[in-house]
Structure 1
């Protein structure tokens, strides 16, 4: 059990790090800072290209770490044989390292997706998508592959894993309830309450991921079959894209909070933090 808990802690830390990367690189630097400082070093073409790789890798890392943790929990609950071999801190470290390297290597081609938008005094500024990006078969294959690993594959995979886990919990709970009713009658069972909470947690994660990723996935599929894909602020498509990106970034931190809030000790420490300012004022007066 200590070995298993250390593996879970590693997954939780990894999801927290991945979500922080999304908040820093995608939201703070890629949107807020670049918007208010359009002629900063981030606007250089080389920095812009590197930023595209890091931003996409951060989103990929966030999604992949969530899927990896879900697989670990599914195996831990549904298969006692694989639990002792797979759900360990060593396997967790290997999977986390593999996911991290894969997330970065997967989006290296994004560096070559852009070209300088303008050249001022020999300095290349901003990024403009190369014309071959929407016509070349190689770029089309890359778009489908990257979108598949970011949204198309994780979404149904999370649904499948959480459904299997929920089914196993329901069957185990039904058998446990049958055994306890044979001689005891209706008794409040803490284990049943814990399993019911686990089911609610699983469906909350699935529903949150689907709700926040569905707009981006729909627009991504739409963009594959249309050439009317311009970033004109006066068009409704632009507004839909920005909203879908906002929801996608919000999804990066939602699962970590859902997992964390279900932990009793985390809730206790959080309540202590929230109560501390009021306790200080109470003692002062």
Structure 2
């Protein structure tokens, strides 16, 4: 519904913000399809299909990692765009445009896909039946190879360590500038118009800022467990949990770190409906369209 409603341009945000929100909605939907529907759910309820072949399993892994990377870096791009709009007035006119947003979004999708292609070559078949390789397991050489170890570190830095730190830093600087600008504008507005009136421009900025901080805050909260688990494994020079003790703290930490980022992708689209009154109204209008169509048919 977000993908259908937001491009109509009736929800308030500028073209630039709208394109980022639509692209984030698309990637979040792809994450849900690839990481939940095609992978674990199909594996549990339909355990042996063409998706169980080694080639399909490897492609599925590349698709899942690519979608998650794009979702993460689009959140960073959206945060940086709002940082420029609020803190860098000299760059705002040239950077915060629909054209720039399209270029950034296309770059994120392209680089996110190319970066994850090596994951296709990490897996080997578990069984070979009638010359058809089935299921996937990580090659033993992955753990012993210096190149693959370096790639694994590179992947951990790009998702989500660097994005996590960038969003924290950008938000901290943005908050400082917002507070300073708000105090100055409030004093000027009260001096000119009296204490009882509200500044419409500040009210519009406030709604945009609330949307920005909820999206980035959602990312930080739900990716924290994943970051803690990655850092723990790297610092202790240990390994990821392999076993069946569901009460083991390492198992709980790792599985929570895997689940919460997927939840992050589901929550973003709900945020639009919660924070944007115009979006809620457009959603009602869209849902009413089939009813209007049915009423016209009955009348005819």
Distance 1:18 1:269, change over 3 A: same
In the TM superposition, what whole-angstrom CA distance separates every residue of 1:212-239 from its partner, at most 9, and x where no partner exists?
1011111122333444434322252334
2:171 to 155, 162, 165: 162
Query: Does residue 63 in structure 1 map to residue 72 in structure 2?
Result: yes
Q: Does 1:85 align with 2:94?
A: yes
Corresponding residue to 2:263 among 250, 256, 260: 250
1:210 alignment partner in structure 2: 220
Alignment partner, residue 283 of structure 1: none
Contact 2:82 2:212 in 1 (8 A): no
Q: Name which of 5, 15, 26 aligns with 2:14.
A: 5
Matched residue SS, 1:124: strand
TM-score, normalized by length of structure 2? 0.83
Moved >6 Å (runs of 4+): 273-279
Task: Determine helix, strand or coil for the equivalent of 2:136.
Answer: strand
Please state how far the C-alpha of 1:271 moved relative to its aligned partner: 4.8
Distance 2:18 2:212 in 1: 18
Alignment of 1:120-269 (within 5 A): 120-182=129-191, 184-189=193-198, 190-224=200-234, 225-235=236-246, 236=248, 237-259=250-272, 261-269=274-282
Highest relative contact order (Cα 8 Å, sep 6+), 1 or 2?
Answer: 2
Residues in 2 aligned to 1:63 and 1:101: alpha-carbon distance in whole angstroms: 14
**Cα 1:203–1:76 shift into 2, 3 Å:** closer
Show the 5 A alignment for 1:94-105: 94-105=103-114
CA 1:7–1:207: 2 relative to 1, 3 Å: closer
Counterpart CA distance in 2 for 1:219 and 1:159 is 19
Q: Which runs of 5+ in 2 are unaligned?
A: 1-8, 293-300
Gaps of 5+ in 1: 280-285
Alpha-carbon contact 2:20-2:74 (below 8 Å) kept? yes
What's the CA shift for 1:69?
1.4
Q: Is the 8 A contact 2:240 2:254 kept in 1?
A: no
Counterpart CA distance in 1 for 2:253 and 2:225 is 8
- Say if 1:11 and 1:184 are closer, same or farther in 2 by CA, change over 3 A: closer
- Larger mean CA deviation between 182-191 and 111-120 belongs to 182-191
Q: How many residues align?
A: 277
